[in-house]
Amino acid sequence: MANRLPVDRITTPEGEPSFRTSPGGLVTALEPVMRAADGAWVGWTGSVDDHLEPFEHDGIHIIPVALSADDVELYYEGFSNDTLWPLYHDVIAPPAYHREWWERYVAVNRRFAERAAEIAAEDATVWVQDYQLQLVPRMLRQARPDLTIGFFNHIPFPAYGIFSQLPWRTQIVEGLLGADVIGFQRTADAGNFSRAVRRLLGYQAKGSVIDVPLDDSELASAKHRISAVRPNKPVRTVVARAFPISIDAESYEDLARRPDIQARAKEIREGLGNPDVVMLGVDRLDYTKGIGHRLKAFGELLADGAVDVEDVTLVQVASPSRERVRTYQRLRDEIELQVGRINGDYSTLSHTAISYLHHGYPREEMVALYLAADVMLVTALRDGMNLVAKEYVACRFDNDGVLVLSEFAGAADELKTALRVNPHDIEGLKEAMLTAMRMPRAERSRRMRAMRKRVTENDVERWSSEFLAALAAPSTSLALPAAN
């Protein structure tokens, strides 16, 4: 189950409302698993007040949860995107704390949990996705103790000094601990979570295993499953560890090998005036992505005369995101002012310094852009994983191209031969851009090969199967606490 269903509402040429599978990696990863296990996907269609009966789409059972306009405003745009999102990304933007947002978050989480509790078969496995639904694991366990429950957090989990700001920090941690396995992007995120558990609840958390004492109703219902040796109180063991998410690498490479997409990549470069170097950024227009830092560094390189607008172009795709949230509206103004200034100062009639695109594009066009880019800039200030970095690598079957990668993106744990940067260090960022532009072919190839090995081996199918294997492992069952 996830906040969003794996389908988008569309209107057929005949004017009929219909659904189309949304092209995300999560869908690709889970589709085969769900088909094999006869699974169902619980989530929101993305449209307000969409009261739909369950239906079947592309072999997947779809169980819609309806959200009202108020739910969207308070639970989704409010608590999820304006409280949790900035808090979990190291308070890059200030989180807003409103009690009515929290109350709605609880209510909507309950609605999701109730829906799953109604439809899940006896002893079924339920996998809850992401920060919008952190209370669901506990609610679901209370309603259906027979279920095996997994949770995956797609965004970072912050250090306790930051997390502890949250007025509802204890409820969130308890909510998550309803799961048997809690997955994070990085080992550091899992560590932050375990520390929060120790600090707030005093439970024992060693390595990736957390001992959660059973409450009285659990004790009663679990009696047949455990052999308690008094005076030790029985516990459930919860596993909290990293499962770094990935992409369907093969499908990206297949697109990159298509002659029409390669021709399009060439056309893109020609359209830009055939500069020596094309640098590329692809992000949702979000303050976590470090777009402003990237633009600043590039602007300074132009100002210093270290690069010439005739030779180097930066293409920045900033896909529209969360446009009803104020912080995002302000960010858009800031970025567009910055782009306008740099272009005004440095563009010529034949060459534009920054080609700025506030659009979403089809995946084919994204792949053509990846192929057209000599240097890919991923300068997130904080990012759970960053799939764009992995997509760029997956597309570069020519073993060419340079990835500049922020150490604050989860992908940095895996893509060790990327050019690593601290995006707050503008001088360092400028140097990395110059190093990337000037890197000899042999070094580009050596670095890219190593990254490709990682991305093709550790694809999204492996991510989901490793998570589900951990969930099925007996270590996540009832146990006695470890001896002190």
Q: In angstroms, what is the minimal distance from the CB of 282 to ligand GDG?
A: 6
Q: In angstroms, what is the minimal distance from the CB of 109 to ligand GDG?
A: 19
| CB-nearer residue toward ligand GDG: 245 or 433 | 245
397 lines the binding site for ligand GDG (CB under 6 A): no
Q: What angle do CA 48, 63, 476 make, to 5 degrees?
A: 120
- Tell which one of 167, 271, 340, 360 touches ligand GDG (CB under 6 A): 360
For residues 108 and 85, is the Cβ–Cβ distance under 8 A? no
| CB-nearer residue toward ligand GDG: 366 or 377 | 366
Record the tokens describing residue 308, joined without a space. Answer: 């010439």
For residues 318 and 285, is the Cβ–Cβ distance under 8 A? yes
- Tell which one of 284, 296, 332, 420 touches ligand GDG (CB under 6 A): 284
| CB-nearer residue toward ligand GDG: 378 or 436 | 378
Q: How far is CA 221 from the centre of its chain?
A: 36
For residues 359 and 350, is the Cβ–Cβ distance under 8 A? no
Q: In angstroms, what is the minimal distance from the CB of 154 to ligand GDG?
A: 4
Segment 463-482, which members bind ligand GDG (CB under 6 A)?
A: none
| CB-nearer residue toward ligand GDG: 9 or 284 | 284
| CB-nearer residue toward ligand GDG: 311 or 407 | 407
DSSP string across 265-328: HHHHHHHTT--SEEEEEEEES-GGG-HHHHHHHHHHHHHHTSS-TTTEEEEEEEE---TTSHHH
| CB-nearer residue toward ligand GDG: 211 or 283 | 283
Q: In angstroms, what is the minimal distance from the CB of 385 to ligand GDG?
A: 3
- Tell which one of 262, 361, 413, 422 touches ligand GDG (CB under 6 A): 361
Q: In angstroms, what is the minimal distance from the CB of 68 to ligand GDG?
A: 25
Q: In angstroms, what is the minimal distance from the CB of 381 to ligand GDG?
A: 12
d(CA 63, CA 371): 38
Q: In angstroms, what is the minimal distance from the CB of 156 to ligand GDG?
A: 8
The piece of 59-67, 270-278, 327-335, 355-363 that touches ligand GDG (CB under 6 A) is 355-363
Question: How many residues contact ligand GDG, by CB under 6 A?
Answer: 19
- Tell which one of 190, 282, 433, 448 touches ligand GDG (CB under 6 A): 282
| CB-nearer residue toward ligand GDG: 97 or 361 | 361
- Tell which one of 225, 330, 363, 416 touches ligand GDG (CB under 6 A): 363
394 lines the binding site for ligand GDG (CB under 6 A): no
d(CA 376, CA 280): 5
- Tell which one of 3, 237, 386, 464 touches ligand GDG (CB under 6 A): 386
Segment 140-169, which members bind ligand GDG (CB under 6 A)?
A: 154-155
Record the tokens describing residue 253, joined without a space. Answer: 């490479």
| CB-nearer residue toward ligand GDG: 312 or 388 | 388
| CB-nearer residue toward ligand GDG: 155 or 354 | 155
319 lines the binding site for ligand GDG (CB under 6 A): yes
387 lines the binding site for ligand GDG (CB under 6 A): yes
DSSP structural state of residue 95 = P
The piece of 139-147, 296-304, 306-314, 382-390 that touches ligand GDG (CB under 6 A) is 382-390
| CB-nearer residue toward ligand GDG: 285 or 309 | 285
388 lines the binding site for ligand GDG (CB under 6 A): yes
Record the tokens describing residue 80, joined without a space. Answer: 């999820």
The piece of 161-169, 187-195, 380-388, 440-448 that touches ligand GDG (CB under 6 A) is 380-388
245 lines the binding site for ligand GDG (CB under 6 A): yes
Q: In angstroms, what is the minimal distance from the CB of 38 to ligand GDG?
A: 25
- Tell which one of 248, 391, 414, 459 touches ligand GDG (CB under 6 A): 391
331 lines the binding site for ligand GDG (CB under 6 A): no
Q: Which residues bind ligand GDG (CB under 6 A)?
A: 154-155, 245, 282, 284, 317, 319, 360-363, 366, 383-388, 391
